[in-house]
Amino acid sequence: MTASPPERIPIGGGPSESTAWVGAGLLREAGEYLASPSGRFFLVWVPSAAAAVEPIRRALAGRLLLDLAIEDGESAKTLDTVARIADAALAAGVRRDDAFVAVGGGVVTDMVGFAAAVLLRGVAWNAVPTTTAGMADAAIGGKTGVNHRLGKNLLGAYHAPAAILVDPAAAATLPDRDYRAGLVEAYKDAWIGDAPLAARAARRLPQILAREEAPLLDLLAGSVRVKAEIVTSDPQDSGRRRLLNFGHTLGHAVEAAGEFGRLRHGEAVAWGIAAALEISRARAGLPEADAAAVRAVLAALGPFPPPERDGARLAPFLARDKKSTARGLASVLLAEIGRAVVDETVPPEEWLAAAAIMSLS
Amino acid sequence: MTASPPERIPIGGGPSESTAWVGAGLLREAGEYLASPSGRFFLVWVPSAAAAVEPIRRALAGRLLLDLAIEDGESAKTLDTVARIADAALAAGVRRDDAFVAVGGGVVTDMVGFAAAVLLRGVAWNAVPTTTAGMADAAIGGKTGVNHRLGKNLLGAYHAPAAILVDPAAAATLPDRDYRAGLVEAYKDAWIGDAPLAARAARRLPQILAREEAPLLDLLAGSVRVKAEIVTSDPQDSGRRRLLNFGHTLGHAVEAAGEFGRLRHGEAVAWGIAAALEISRARAGLPEADAAAVRAVLAALGPFPPPERDGARLAPFLARDKKSTARGLASVLLAEIGRAVVDETVPPEEWLAAAAIMSLS
């Protein structure tokens, strides 16, 4: 039983609408919230998420046609793993009206979502994130994909999950470093779109770090609401949705240049935000008080391992960013806490200069 | 120079609109009709299409960032080949606003379209079919994909090409067997949606088999028009678009059960149509005169190699059809020449019974 009914947050609209459910105790009631046109489910999970898988398996008893464990981690996030998922599902007789359930972090939801996108040219899927990063970021907006030796997420598809279940209990066994890194994305959403939430969550940062349920649910639900509003207003990813990439332009480069795995994604984004604060001060009029408030939260979520700062090593990964066009790097800047803007005229050099001086203390 | 300007046929609408251009002499003017937001092109072709590639390469001189030959044939139509195309494009620095050009038969356009769909979560592409099958069928409607050991086209995406260039000259060196097999799909479009075209093309079958330009262009343009009308009226592939699968339910099974490559796709579809005629007579009131007229055209396009008729061997491939749901096999039947209908209640057994007795003489 949940103490109170979960919050229902619709994302997108039309044929690609997702429904996010946010609440404590959702896992045990997964059978009521996971969606499948046929009523049949294909479960894919990672060993680290085993504790969250158990109640879901019970909830879907008799309706599971596949129960597949896959390897976790950025290095396993490849087209080969997607092919393995597809092979297993086809061998199990997957039909167009069946649905996947992905249980794990962003790596798993990205891969299962991608497999669902290309199997039979598209079957439904559900996301049950078991990391704070996954709860705040993955799946929402429908971005799925895998890495390539030349960069992250270079292969993928837009394929929104039918349902996303966010239950803080699913992250109960998450190591502290991952727990903190994942929260960077949740705070990021508050900074780009919800100033009152940002203030509230900054004030309750100690309780959130202590994993207290109420303030954590408030931050996660608020983060999902910000994303839902932005994604719904820009279904084609043609403009506003880029705001969600705040911290990601340099973040991706820092992560890739440092070799996948050394920095957590959220940690790299934290450094990317630190660099974006520098550029936002110069180009978007971000008040120093706001920049200091963001830095203080990031410092408390850390300390994070030092990033790659060498421009010569970062530059190739900046140029290969998916958002680069002939016009330059589409960059997200902060005008004030709660309001982000896109600036398409930031040359890569400016990001490299910011990388050299960015600071989280 | 073209003798006359090409016919422009818009397909679909909104963000996924394609434009088909149909005319003689288009290849030489490819630079004017192929679409790329950045003006940069990534050319992928098969050796058998070399003659058609040459004028396109000249037309795109200075704008080509990739010029890649890949292997042809159903056995090369795999996720591995798509990964090779993606690798080459990423190594060449592909950006989100670039575009592919696929030159070859349906295998090539299916794979390049799929690669374009998943690269950077979607870049533009163009189709230049060099087979009658490709001109009549592939790319239109945006279906892309690859085969899997368990069946054809089990992995793929919907990703419509920006432009499709149909120039009969591109098929000049096509072997006669392929030329004839490909025409099955063109006639099929006439049968499901354009009775006057079907009558005209039946009358001029000898000239079309002799590759006379005017009647061939008439059939190909008419076939594209029928497809365009159907696809545009059903962008989500939720109902009417299934009409295009006339002959494909059993056709796919015949093709797969006989091992890929022994029967041409069009030949398998011809047998699938022969079976569908039997069921259409019983279930959709198809007049025997219409069935005979269709059979006569198919007989003249053949003779085709004998198909697999063994129900035990066909059954597994019927059940794995993408269009199968809990309700049964969604089957396309012919009510009369020019009008097809979908019947969702045809049990697999009925198809197997029709396979045992179908005839093209």
User: Which phi and psi angles does A7 have, rounded to 5°?
Assistant: -80, 135
Taking CA–CA distances from A324, the nearest residue in chain B reads: B95
What part of B 229-258 touches A (C-beta under 8 Å)? 236
Residue A330 confidence (pLDDT):
83
Q: From the list B90, B120, B324, which residue is nearest A95 (CB)?
A: B324
- Per-residue model confidence as pLDDT tens digits over B104-147: 998 999 999 999 999 999 999 999 999 999 998 756 778 899 99
Q: From the list B121, B155, B325, which residue is nearest A97 (CB)?
A: B325
**Rounded Cα gap, residues B145 and B159, in angstroms:** 10
Q: What is the dihedral of CA B241, B244, B250, B253, to 10 degrees?
A: -80
Number of CB atoms found within 10 A of residue B303's CB: 12
Put simply, whether A141 touches B (Cβ < 8 Å) is no
**Rounded Cα gap, residues B160 and B141, in angstroms:** 6
Put simply, the answer to whether A145 touches B91 (Cβ < 8 Å) is no
**Rounded Cα gap, residues A161 and A142, in angstroms:** 7
Put simply, the answer to whether A154 touches B95 (Cβ < 8 Å) is no
Helix (H, G, I), strand (E, B) or coil at B272: helix
Residue B2 confidence (pLDDT):
46
Put simply, whether B344 touches A (Cβ < 8 Å) is no
Q: What is the dihedral of CA A164, A165, A166, A169, to 10 degrees?
A: -150
Put simply, whether B322 touches A (Cβ < 8 Å) is yes
Mean pLDDT, chain A, rounded, equals 92
Put simply, whether A357 touches B (Cβ < 8 Å) is no
Task: Spell out a b/e string for B244-281, using b for 16 or more CB atoms within 10 Å of the CB, else e.
Answer: bbbbbbbbbbbbbbbebeebbbbbbbbbbbbbbbbbbb
> B151: pLDDT confidence band, cut at 50, 70 and 90?
confident
| CA distances in angstroms from A177 to A132, A258, B192, listed in the order given | 11, 18, 61
| Bridge partner residues of B332 (DSSP) | B342
Put simply, whether B260 touches A (Cβ < 8 Å) is no
Q: Which of B272, B337, B281 is nearest to B307 (CA)?
A: B272
One-letter amino acid at A57 equals R
Taking CA–CA distances from B115, the nearest residue in chain A reads: A155
Mean pLDDT, chain B, rounded, equals 92
Q: Which residues of chain A have pLDDT under 50?
A: 1-2
CA of A121 to nearest chain B CA: how many angstroms apart?
5
CA of A266 to nearest chain B CA: how many angstroms apart?
21
Partners of A15 on chain B (C-beta within 8 Å) are: 236
> B318: pLDDT confidence band, cut at 50, 70 and 90?
confident
- Per-residue model confidence as pLDDT tens digits over A255-297: 888 865 589 989 999 999 999 999 999 999 999 999 999 999 9
Residue B301 pLDDT more than 70? yes
User: Can you give the length of chain B in residues?
Assistant: 361
Put simply, whether A84 touches B (Cβ < 8 Å) is no
The residue of A147, A154, A323 whose CB has the most chain B CBs within 10 angstroms, and thus the best one to mutate to test that interface, is A154
The residue of B79, B85, B155 whose CB has the most chain A CBs within 10 angstroms, and thus the best one to mutate to test that interface, is B155
Is the Cα torsion angle A95, A101, A104, A108 positive or negative in sign? positive
CA B73-B161-A344 angle, to 5 degrees, is 130
E runs forming strands in B46-150: 64-69, 99-104, 124-129, 143-148
Complex prediction ipTM: 0.82
CA of B124 to nearest chain A CA: how many angstroms apart?
14
| CA distances in angstroms from A303 to A21, A74, A172, A285, A360, listed in the order given | 32, 22, 22, 27, 8
HSE of A278, CA atoms in CB hemisphere, 13 A:
18
